[in-house]
Structure 1
Amino acid sequence: MKKILVLGGTRFFGQKLVELLLEQKHEVTIVTRGVSENPFGDAVEHIKVDRKDKAAFEQALESRTFDIVYDNICYSPNEAKQLCDIFNGNIGKLVFTSTLATYEADGKLHEEVDFDPTSYEIVMGETHEFSYGEGKRLAEAVFYRFADFPVVAVRFPIVMGADDYTRRLHFHIERIVNNEPIGFSNMDAEMSFIQATEAARFLMWAGMENVEGPINATANGVIALKDLISLIEEKTGERAKIALLGTEEIRSPYAIPASWYMKNDKSQQLGFKFSHIDDWLPQLVEEIAKSTPKQ
C-alpha cells in the first residue's frame, strides 16, 4: 500500500484514477478548493485548499510525505516551482499530467524527443500569462530543473469520455443533431485521442512502474476529422453543416491546421498496452448521441 496525493481527482479521468487507486487499497489524499464535491466520502483524506493561495497551500501540506503525487491541474511554471519547493525531500515520485500541446500541430508524428524540457528556456509566470501548451511546456521545464524527486510527464492527447466536462466531442454531436454549423480549417487533419478510463489506467501505471521522463500516452490509431464527422453522422442519422472556421461560437475545438498526433512506442516498449481508437470511439459517439436531445 502506498501513500498517494492526487491534485485534480474529483472529476473525469482524475476521478477514475482515484477510483482505481482505492480499488488497489492505496491510502489516498485528495486536494480540492472545495468547489467540487468529494465523490469518495471517507474513503479518502480530503484537504480543502486553493493551490493558487501559496501560503495556505504550503501550510496545508507542510511536512507531509507521500510515495506518489499525481498533479492533474498544474498549468504554469509558477505552480510547478511551488510544488517543487513544498515537496523536495518529501515525496518518492511525481506524475504530472502534460499534453500533446507541448508539440506543434504541424502534421508531424511526434515522439518524446521532439520537445526536450531539460533544455527549454524557463520563463516564470502564472497560468493566464501563457497559452495552454506553453504553460505545460514551462511546467515540464521547471519540474526537470528544480525537482529532486523523479518526474514522469505524461503527454496526453485530447481525452474523450461521456463525462468529459469540457464537452469537446459533445459539441460536435450536439451541433450535428441540431443542424447547426461547425467550423473547421482542415477536415483532412488527423488526430490522436485517448479514452478517459485508459488515461486513468496509464497514470496509475506510470506511478507504480519504473518510469521517468516525458512519455506519450495515446490510443493506437488516429482519425481524420472528416471521418470523425462521418461517424457522428452515421450514429445520429443527421448530416453535418461544415463551415470554413467561422465565428468562435461555431468553431470546432478540433479546428487544427494540420495533423496533430504522436507515437506511443516508448510506453508500449515499457509494457503498457493501449487500446485502438476503433475499439471504443464508435460506441462512445453512439452513447453521447443517444443522450443528446434535438432542440
Structure 2
Amino acid sequence: MVNTALVIGGTRFIGRHVVDDLLDHDYQVAIFNRGTHENPFEEREEVTHVEGDRRDDTDLKAAALSVDPDIVIDCVAYYPEDVRVATDVFSDVDGYAYISSGAAYGVEEIPKREGETELCECTDEQATDDSHDSYGPRKAEGDREIFAAAEDGVNAMAVRPCIVYGPHDYTERLDYWIDRVLNHDRVVVPGDGQNLWHRAYVEDVASALRVVAEEGEPGEAYNVGDRRLVTMEEMVDLIADAGGADVEVVHAGERELAAADLSPDDFILYREYPHVLDTNKLAALGWESTPLGEAMERTVAEHRESDRDGSEHDPGREAEERVLGVLDTL
C-alpha cells in the first residue's frame, strides 16, 4: 500500500526538500499552494498539484477531500489561526507536522529544550501581525494550537528548526558567506569568530518533518538542527573546504568595524548570544543529521549553479576593505 502525503507549500525551499524526501520514501505526494511560484515537480507523475489558498478554509477542505492524505506537512503556517484551522480540517490524518521555529523560545538559555525552555508569549495583536518582531510569538502560539489539538485527539506535532541553510535557500543568508569565500582571499568575520548560532541543513529539516509525522507523539514539539554545531569561523572554513578556496579569516572587533561605520550585527548569521537547540528528542525517533562537510558541499555546489549572491545582506566590500586596512596597520 502506497501512503499519500499532502505538503502545504512545497515548491520553494524547505517544502521543496520535503517533497524530495517523501518521494525518496515512496510516498505519493500532493502539493497544495496558490501556484505563484515555479513548480519543480511539474514533470513528476508521483506529484500532483492542488491549487488553492491555505488561508481559505474552503480551499483547504477541498484539498483534504481530494487528496485524502495519510500525513500532512505544513510548511507555510505563519499565523496561529492557520494551525488551528488546519488541525481541524486534518483532524483524522495519521500525522500532521507543523513547521514551528527555534524563535518560538522566549528566553535565552543554552541549550533550549522542548517542554523545559519557556515559549514566547503572543498577544492578540501579534497573532495577526506579519512583522519580523512577531514571528517568534506567532510560532509559539502555533505550537499551543498543536498542543490543544492533540488534547482533542488530533495526531498533531510541531517541529522547531533553528536557522535553516542549504540548496535553493531564497533568503540568501548563507549565500552571502559563500560568495565572499569563493571570490575573496580575505574575509572579515566579526568578533573573535566564536559566535555560535545553531543551524539546520534543509534536507535534515525535511526528513525530520517526515519522521515526526510518522513516529512523533501527538502534542509534542521536536527541535531540529545540525547534530554538530560550528562557530562562525568554522562555518567559513567549511565553505572554503567545500569550494576548494584558500581564504584568510580576519577577525574584527567593534572598534575596527566602527572605523567603517559597521557593527557585528551588520554581518548576517552573527548573533551575540549563542542560540543552541537540544536535538536529542528528535534523534530518539531515529532521525539523523547529514555530516557537515557533505551538507556544505551540496550547498556550495548548488550556489554555484544559481544566480544568488547574498548581496541584500552585504555590508559592503568597500567598507570591509577599510576594516582590513585598519587591521593591517595594527
Instruction: Please classify the TM superposition score into its range, dividing by the shorter chain length.
Output: 0.7 to 0.9
**TM score, norm. by length of structure 1:** 0.81
- Check if 1:73 corresponds to 2:76: yes
Say yes or no: does 1:163 pair with 2:178: no
Following the alignment from structure 1 to structure 2, what is the Cα–Cα distance between the partners of residues 11 and 208? Answer: 23
Q: 1:38 to 1:286 in 2, by over 3 A?
A: closer
Q: Percent identity?
A: 22
Q: Distance in 2 between matches of 1:84 and 1:78?
A: 10
Q: 1:251 to 1:104 in 2, by over 3 A?
A: farther
Q: CA deviation at 1:115?
A: 4.0
Say whether residues 1:145 and 2:181 are aligned partners.
no
How do 1:228-239 residues align onto structure 2 when only pairs under 5 Å count?
A: 228-232=235-239, 235-239=244-248
| Amino acid across the alignment from 1:280 | E
**Pair 1:209 & 2:210 matched:** no
The alpha-carbon distance between structure 1 residues 51 and 285, as it changes in their structure 2 partners (threshold 3 A), is closer
For 1:286 and 1:40, locate their aligned partners in 2 and report how far apart those are by CA, in whole Å: 23
Q: CA deviation at 1:94?
A: 0.7
Gaps of 5+ in 2: 310-316, 318-330
**Alignment partner for residue 226 of structure 1, among 220, 223, 233?**
233
**C-alpha spacing 1:186/1:58, structure 2 compared with 1 (3 Å):** farther
Tell me what 2:130 maps to. 128
What SS is found at the alignment partner of 2:266? coil
Q: Is the 8 A contact 2:146 2:157 kept in 1?
A: no
2:314 matched residue in structure 1: none
Equivalent in 198, 201, 204 of residue 198 of structure 1: 204
User: Separation in 2 of the partners of 1:22 and 1:289?
Assistant: 23
CA RMSD of the aligned region, Å? Answer: 3.5
Cα shift readout 1:19-46 (whole Å, capped 9, x = no counterpart)? 2323433232211111112222342221
> In the alignment, is the contact (CA less than 8 A) between 2:204 and 2:288 conserved in 1?
no
Q: CA deviation at 1:76?
A: 1.2
The whole-number CA distance in structure 2 between the counterparts of 1:227 and 1:24 is 33
Please list every run of 5 or more consecutive structure 1 residues that lacks an aligned counterpart in the other structure: none
| Amino acid corresponding to residue 276 of structure 2 in structure 1 | Y
Map 1:17-56 to 2 at 5 A: 17-41=18-42, 42-52=45-55, 54-56=56-58
Measure the CA separation in 2 of the matches of 1:210 and 1:178.
43
Which one has a bigger Cα radius of gyration?
Answer: 2
Structure 1: distance between partners of 2:101 and 2:192: 21
Q: Relative to 1, partners in 2 of residues 1:281 and 1:30: Cα closer, same or farther, differing over 3 Å?
A: closer
1:150–1:186 Cα change, 3 Å: farther
* CA contact 1:182–1:251 (8 Å) conserved in 2: no
Q: For 1:229, give the aligned amino acid.
A: V
Partner Cα distance (1:183, 1:107) in 2:
24
Give the Cα separation in 2 of the matches to 1:252 and 1:215: 29
How high is the TM-score relative to the length of structure 2?
0.73
Higher mean displacement: 172-181 or 139-148: 172-181
